[in-house]
Structure formats: structure tokens, C-alpha cells
Amino acid sequence: MDVPLWLALIVIGWLGVRLARPPAWLVIVLLLGGYLLADSFLAPAINTAVHK
């Protein structure tokens, strides 16, 4: 069974928020920070570090 990546991320994120109960500001900062970093000049360096 092939599960789309977006669906897996939603399920894992929902479970993480329900089980760990992080503060809302932390979730927002992580999501916004990840979105902004993915489109920045640091993206190639992050990609290289992650895919080693």
C-alpha cells in the first residue's frame, strides 16, 4: 500500500501534537521556520546535510 507523503505527515503531526502536547507557539514556529528555510539560500546546505 502506497501512502502519499502529505497524508503520512499529517497523521504523524496530528499524533505528535495529541500525544506530546507541545505549546501552540512551538508548533507554529517550527512549521513557519521550516517553510522559510526550505525557500532560503540555506536550502542547498540543509539538503546536503540531510541527504548524506
pLDDT by residue (tens digit) across 1-52?
798 988 998 999 999 999 999 999 999 999 999 888 888 898 898 888 888 7
Q: Can you read off the three cell numbers belonging to residue 28?
A: 507554529
Amino acid at 21: R
pLDDT at 10: 92
The single-letter DSSP state of residue 52 is: -
pLDDT at 42: 87
pLDDT at 49: 85
The single-letter DSSP state of residue 33 is: H
CA distance 26 to 35: 14
pLDDT at 50: 81
Give, to the nearest 10 degrees, the angle between helix 43-50 and helix 24-38.
100
Q: Can you read off the three cell numbers belonging to residue 35?
A: 517553510
pLDDT at 26: 94
